[in-house]
Structure 1
Amino acid sequence: MLIADTAKQVIDTANHAINAPTIPQEELRFGDLLLKGGWVMIPLGILLALALVMFFERYFTIRKAARDESSLMGQVKASIIAGKLDSAIALCRNSNTPLGRMLQKGLLRIGRPIKDIEGAIENIGKLEVSKLEKNIGIIGIVAGIAPMFGFIGTIAGVIKIFYDISKTDNISMGTISGGLYQKMITSAAGLIVGIIAYVCYQILNMMVDKVILKLETDAIEFIDLLEEPSK
């Protein structure tokens, strides 16, 4: 009889568990997940927006400077060979490009020693490169400090966990979940923002290096062209 009663209780418990209404799982949206990161997500969002704005502004500027100027170089070379110095200067002025401004400075120094012309071109080249590198350093700063903000969020999350435990005197998943959310979300967000900014920073640096190499090559070709008559 005892065994039969025990079996009946087990069956009743199983039937109750099967027939019990299921609690619908709350779907966690991406926006709600970000909000659980707390106030640290605000500066991280600002840093991400700043890095992206700076990246696209510099990207299109450097891309414009990196366009192929072989036609300009050919026209300037033809004008110099033909003895039309004023025409060559006008071509460089109208191009409104880093290479054009470098060649224009060199053309205006024709008649002086080659060393003076090289120095003038080099100085203009440095100025043009500094213009291209403007604000790139800000993206590098974002790449460095974004993970630090994530670490601050981690510390804030740990503090929240201990504060909630001390307030409720209850160590349960419900008590510590809020701090864990903040801890993990801010850490991940800081790393993601830092990685994005770092990649953008490296892309822009590679683009600038490519422009520098092209400007140096064209400058050498221009100096060689000026030295030809004296050889």
Structure 2
Amino acid sequence: MAGGWAMAPILVCSAVALAIVLERCWTLRRRSVLPPGLSQEVREWARSDQLDPAHLEKLSAGSPLGELLAAAVAVRERPRELIKERIEDTGRHVVHRMERYLNTLGTIALIGPLLGLFGTVIGLIRMFMQVMVGGMADPTKMAGGIGEALICTAAGLTVAIPAYVLHRYFRSKVAGYCVEMEKQATLLLDDLTLSAPSAAPRPRRTTGAAAAGNKAPV
């Protein structure tokens, strides 16, 4: 605690940032978000109509990609636009969960240098107050105030720089997952709508005059 009491919030921020980084590293693993082969498997299930409500619930709870695909398959009998709207609505919730705690990590990256600067100002104020009371006779008092200021500054930057880098890393990782999930959802949407059997054409109704004209003469 050589940096003074201003080090306490910096240490709290470092502990919170470390917990967020470890949790996001585990949650945002690629195999956990985009299980390999899941999209192809769901498309085959949809073609063979093997998806019951219990199966869809298990698929939705398995991964973010599974939740997105399950939302599309659940309304597969509806028009394309309605299926697309359901995918978009579910996608917003999925992205929100993947970005959980990232705002907190970004806030820590922002306030880390500010806390270090605050500790620096406190240390300098204490140094000047000691100089005003005891004069310049004791240089150790000045050294203590300057050391306290520098320790707070260094600690704040030590917390803020990794937090900022990891915040940007997780943001870019989530953005990449979103692009891949959109691609897989589009493939499923095409399978559900474009490959559906088209309805048989309705017979044309003929007018009375045309029907009379087509009658064979007696």
TM-score for the superposition, normalised by structure 2 = 0.82
Q: Which residue of the other structure, out of 60, 67, 70, is the alignment partner of 1:101?
A: 67
Match of 1:207 in 2: 173
Q: Which residue of the other structure, out of 70, 86, 100, is the alignment partner of 1:134?
A: 100
Match of 1:38 in 2: 4
Match of 2:76 in 1: 110
Report whether the alignment pairs 1:62 with 2:56: no
Q: Which residue of the other structure, out of 137, 141, 159, is the alignment partner of 1:193?
A: 159
Q: Which amino acid aligns with 1:93?
A: K
User: 1:204 offset after TM fit, Å?
Assistant: 1.2
Q: 1:158 to 1:128 in 2, by over 3 A?
A: same
Match of 2:190 in 1: 224
Match of 1:150 in 2: 116
Q: What is the number of residues matched between the two proteins?
A: 196
What is the rounded CA distance, in whole Å, between the counterparts of 1:138 and 1:186 in structure 2? 21
Determine if contact 2:64/2:94 at 8 Å carries over to the other structure.
yes
Determine if contact 1:164/1:175 at 8 Å carries over to the other structure.
yes
User: 1:183 offset after TM fit, Å?
Assistant: 1.1
Q: 1:70 to 1:228 in 2, by over 3 A?
A: farther
Gapped regions of structure 1 (runs ≥ 5): 1-34
Report whether the alignment pairs 1:178 with 2:150: no
Determine if contact 2:6/2:152 at 8 Å carries over to the other structure.
yes
What is the rounded CA distance, in whole Å, between the counterparts of 2:43 and 2:189 in structure 1? 11
Match of 1:90 in 2: 55
What is the rounded CA distance, in whole Å, between the counterparts of 2:50 and 2:135 in structure 1? 89
Q: Which residue of the other structure, out of 2, 24, 45, is the alignment partner of 1:79?
A: 45
**Secondary structure of the residue that 2:167 maps to in structure 1?**
helix
Choose between structure 1 and 2: higher helix proportion. 1
What is the rounded CA distance, in whole Å, between the counterparts of 2:36 and 2:29 in structure 1? 16
Determine if contact 1:92/1:100 at 8 Å carries over to the other structure.
no
Match of 2:134 in 1: 168
Q: Which amino acid aligns with 1:127?
A: H
**Secondary structure of the residue that 2:55 maps to in structure 1?**
helix
**Secondary structure of the residue that 1:38 maps to in structure 2?**
coil
What is the rounded CA distance, in whole Å, between the counterparts of 1:137 and 1:67 in structure 2? 20
Determine if contact 2:113/2:160 at 8 Å carries over to the other structure.
yes
Two-structure CA RMSD over aligned residues (Å):
2.1
What is the rounded CA distance, in whole Å, between the counterparts of 2:152 and 2:32 in structure 1? 38
Q: 1:121 to 1:45 in 2, by over 3 A?
A: same
Deviates more, 1:75-84 or 1:129-138: 75-84
Q: Kindly report which structure 2 residues correspond to 1:42-53, keeping only aligned pairs within 5 A, or say none.
A: 42-53=8-19
Determine if contact 1:72/1:91 at 8 Å carries over to the other structure.
no
Identity of aligned residues (%): 29
What is the rounded CA distance, in whole Å, between the counterparts of 2:36 and 2:56 in structure 1? 13
Determine if contact 1:93/1:101 at 8 Å carries over to the other structure.
no
Gapped regions of structure 2 (runs ≥ 5): 199-218
